[in-house]
Protein backbone atom coordinates (compact mmCIF):
# COMPACT_ATOMS: atom_id res chain seq x y z
CA UNK A 1 0.00 0.00 0.00
CA UNK A 2 1.20 3.47 -0.72
CA UNK A 3 0.43 6.42 1.45
CA UNK A 4 -1.64 9.39 0.46
CA UNK A 5 1.13 11.19 -1.41
CA UNK A 6 -0.33 12.53 -4.63
CA UNK A 7 1.13 14.96 -7.18
CA UNK A 8 -2.20 16.78 -7.46
CA UNK A 9 -3.45 19.31 -4.93
CA UNK A 10 -7.18 18.54 -4.87
CA UNK A 11 -8.99 15.58 -3.39
CA UNK A 12 -11.14 13.29 -5.49
CA UNK A 13 -14.76 14.42 -5.07
CA UNK A 14 -15.89 11.07 -6.43
CA UNK A 15 -15.11 9.48 -3.06
CA UNK A 16 -17.59 11.75 -1.30
CA UNK A 17 -20.30 9.45 -2.65
CA UNK A 18 -21.05 6.84 0.05
CA UNK A 19 -21.24 3.75 -2.19
CA UNK A 20 -18.07 4.61 -4.11
CA UNK A 21 -16.22 5.37 -0.88
CA UNK A 22 -17.34 2.04 0.58
CA UNK A 23 -16.10 0.07 -2.45
CA UNK A 24 -12.78 1.91 -2.80
CA UNK A 25 -11.92 1.84 0.91
CA UNK A 26 -13.10 -1.75 1.29
CA UNK A 27 -10.89 -2.70 -1.67
CA UNK A 28 -7.93 -0.81 -0.20
CA UNK A 29 -8.28 -2.47 3.18
CA UNK A 30 -8.75 -5.99 1.83
CA UNK A 31 -5.81 -5.68 -0.56
CA UNK A 32 -3.76 -4.26 2.31
CA UNK A 33 -4.60 -7.31 4.40
CA UNK A 34 -3.19 -9.55 1.70
CA UNK A 35 -0.12 -7.45 1.01
CA UNK A 36 0.79 -6.72 4.62
CA UNK A 37 -0.32 -10.04 6.04
CA UNK A 38 -2.24 -8.19 8.76
CA UNK A 39 -5.72 -9.29 9.74
CA UNK A 40 -6.23 -5.82 11.24
CA UNK A 41 -6.87 -4.43 7.73
CA UNK A 42 -9.70 -6.93 7.29
CA UNK A 43 -11.10 -5.96 10.69
CA UNK A 44 -11.06 -2.32 9.56
CA UNK A 45 -12.98 -3.32 6.43
CA UNK A 46 -15.52 -5.17 8.54
CA UNK A 47 -15.95 -2.12 10.78
CA UNK A 48 -16.38 0.15 7.77
CA UNK A 49 -19.11 -2.05 6.27
CA UNK A 50 -20.81 -2.70 9.62
CA UNK A 51 -20.92 1.01 10.37
CA UNK A 52 -22.41 1.82 6.96
CA UNK A 53 -24.76 -1.16 6.53
CA UNK A 54 -25.32 -2.53 10.02
CA UNK A 55 -23.79 -5.78 11.24
CA UNK A 56 -26.41 -8.13 9.79
CA UNK A 57 -26.27 -6.53 6.34
CA UNK A 58 -22.48 -6.25 6.39
CA UNK A 59 -21.84 -10.00 6.76
CA UNK A 60 -22.73 -10.93 3.21
CA UNK A 61 -21.21 -7.76 1.76
CA UNK A 62 -17.83 -8.31 3.43
CA UNK A 63 -17.88 -11.98 2.46
CA UNK A 64 -18.44 -11.00 -1.17
CA UNK A 65 -15.80 -8.24 -0.92
CA UNK A 66 -13.31 -10.84 0.30
CA UNK A 67 -14.20 -13.25 -2.50
CA UNK A 68 -13.91 -10.53 -5.16
CA UNK A 69 -10.57 -9.14 -3.95
CA UNK A 70 -9.14 -12.66 -3.59
CA UNK A 71 -10.20 -13.49 -7.16
CA UNK A 72 -8.66 -10.32 -8.58
CA UNK A 73 -5.55 -10.72 -6.40
CA UNK A 74 -5.13 -14.33 -7.55
CA UNK A 75 -5.26 -13.53 -11.27
CA UNK A 76 -3.19 -10.36 -11.11
CA UNK A 77 0.39 -10.54 -12.43
CA UNK A 78 1.79 -7.34 -10.95
CA UNK A 79 1.12 -5.99 -7.45
CA UNK A 80 -2.06 -4.02 -6.84
CA UNK A 81 -1.31 -0.46 -5.77
CA UNK A 82 -3.63 1.47 -3.50
CA UNK A 83 -3.67 4.59 -1.43
CA UNK A 84 -4.25 4.20 2.31
CA UNK A 85 -7.85 3.77 3.41
CA UNK A 86 -9.57 7.10 3.84
CA UNK A 87 -7.25 8.91 1.46
CA UNK A 88 -9.31 11.35 -0.64
CA UNK A 89 -7.42 10.46 -3.83
CA UNK A 90 -7.98 7.52 -6.17
CA UNK A 91 -5.31 5.61 -8.08
CA UNK A 92 -5.32 3.51 -11.24
CA UNK A 93 -6.08 0.15 -9.63
CA UNK A 94 -8.72 1.66 -7.36
CA UNK A 95 -10.32 3.32 -10.38
CA UNK A 96 -10.45 -0.06 -12.14
CA UNK A 97 -11.89 -1.72 -9.05
CA UNK A 98 -14.75 0.73 -8.48
CA UNK A 99 -15.45 0.89 -12.22
CA UNK A 100 -15.70 -2.89 -12.34
CA UNK A 101 -18.35 -2.96 -9.62
CA UNK A 102 -20.18 0.01 -11.15
CA UNK A 103 -20.18 -1.75 -14.53
CA UNK A 104 -21.72 -4.85 -12.93
CA UNK A 105 -24.47 -2.83 -11.26
CA UNK A 106 -25.20 -0.78 -14.37
CA UNK A 107 -24.98 -3.68 -16.83
CA UNK A 108 -22.15 -2.14 -18.83
CA UNK A 109 -20.53 -5.18 -20.43
CA UNK A 110 -17.95 -3.19 -22.40
CA UNK A 111 -16.64 -1.43 -19.30
CA UNK A 112 -16.69 -4.65 -17.30
CA UNK A 113 -14.66 -6.46 -19.98
CA UNK A 114 -12.19 -3.59 -20.09
CA UNK A 115 -11.72 -3.65 -16.31
CA UNK A 116 -11.28 -7.43 -16.24
CA UNK A 117 -8.73 -7.27 -19.06
CA UNK A 118 -6.74 -4.52 -17.33
CA UNK A 119 -6.84 -6.30 -13.97
CA UNK A 120 -6.44 -9.90 -15.06
CA UNK A 121 -4.85 -9.74 -18.50
CA UNK A 122 -5.86 -12.60 -20.72
CA UNK A 123 -6.12 -15.17 -17.95
CA UNK A 124 -9.36 -17.01 -17.30
CA UNK A 125 -11.63 -14.26 -15.99
CA UNK A 126 -14.52 -16.44 -14.89
CA UNK A 127 -13.76 -16.34 -11.15
CA UNK A 128 -13.12 -12.56 -10.95
CA UNK A 129 -16.21 -11.91 -13.09
CA UNK A 130 -18.50 -14.03 -10.93
CA UNK A 131 -17.05 -12.52 -7.75
CA UNK A 132 -17.52 -8.96 -9.03
CA UNK A 133 -21.10 -9.68 -10.07
CA UNK A 134 -21.88 -11.17 -6.64
CA UNK A 135 -20.31 -8.29 -4.74
CA UNK A 136 -22.09 -5.71 -6.93
CA UNK A 137 -25.41 -7.48 -6.43
CA UNK A 138 -25.06 -7.62 -2.65
CA UNK A 139 -24.17 -3.93 -2.51
CA UNK A 140 -27.07 -3.00 -4.76
CA UNK A 141 -29.49 -5.00 -2.60
CA UNK A 142 -28.29 -2.98 0.41
CA UNK A 143 -28.86 0.37 -1.25
CA UNK A 144 -25.22 0.93 -2.24
CA UNK A 145 -25.66 1.79 -5.92
CA UNK A 146 -22.63 3.16 -7.75
CA UNK A 147 -22.99 5.66 -10.54
CA UNK A 148 -22.02 4.45 -14.02
CA UNK A 149 -18.46 5.05 -15.21
CA UNK A 150 -18.44 5.41 -19.01
CA UNK A 151 -15.78 3.18 -20.52
CA UNK A 152 -14.51 6.09 -22.67
CA UNK A 153 -13.83 8.07 -19.50
CA UNK A 154 -12.06 5.13 -17.89
CA UNK A 155 -9.93 4.56 -21.00
CA UNK A 156 -9.07 8.26 -21.10
CA UNK A 157 -7.90 8.17 -17.50
CA UNK A 158 -5.89 4.97 -17.76
CA UNK A 159 -4.47 5.19 -21.26
CA UNK A 160 -3.53 8.86 -21.35
CA UNK A 161 0.13 9.40 -22.16
CA UNK A 162 2.34 10.17 -19.22
CA UNK A 163 2.66 13.90 -18.58
CA UNK A 164 5.21 15.96 -16.81
CA UNK A 165 3.78 18.50 -14.38
CA UNK A 166 5.83 21.47 -13.24
- What pLDDT score was predicted for residue 163? 53
Domain count, the chain: 1
Residue 62 lies in a domain: yes
Residue 47 lies in a domain: yes
Can you tell me the distance from the alpha carbon of 89 to that of 82, in angstroms, rounded to the nearest whole number? 10
Residue 165 lies in a domain: no
Tell me the C-alpha to C-alpha distance, in Å, between residue 49 and each of 61, 102, 144.
8, 18, 11
Q: Is the distance from CB of 111 to CB of 151 less than 8 angstroms?
A: yes
Residue 119 lies in a domain: yes
pLDDT, the chain, mean:
88
Residue 2 lies in a domain: no
Can you tell me the distance from the alpha carbon of 82 to that of 32, in angstroms, rounded to the nearest whole number? 8
Per-residue pLDDT in tens (0 to 9) along the chain, 166 residues: 445 555 444 456 778 899 999 999 999 999 999 999 989 999 999 999 999 999 999 999 999 999 999 999 888 878 999 999 989 888 899 999 999 999 999 999 999 999 999 888 766 789 999 999 999 999 999 999 999 999 999 998 888 765 544 4
Residue 7 lies in a domain: no
Can you tell me the distance from the alpha carbon of 90 to that of 147, in angstroms, rounded to the nearest whole number? 16
Residue 139 lies in a domain: yes
Residue ranges making up the domain that contains 47:
15-158
Nearest to 46 by CA among 29, 69, 68, 32: 29
Residue 6 lies in a domain: no
- What pLDDT score was predicted for residue 3? 53
Residues 6+ apart with CB under 8 A from 63: none
Amino acid sequence: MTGCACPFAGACGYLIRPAESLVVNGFRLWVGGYQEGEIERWNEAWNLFAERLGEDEARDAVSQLAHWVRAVFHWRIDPIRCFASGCPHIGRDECLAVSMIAACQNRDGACLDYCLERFCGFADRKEPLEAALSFASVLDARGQRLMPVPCEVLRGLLEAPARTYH
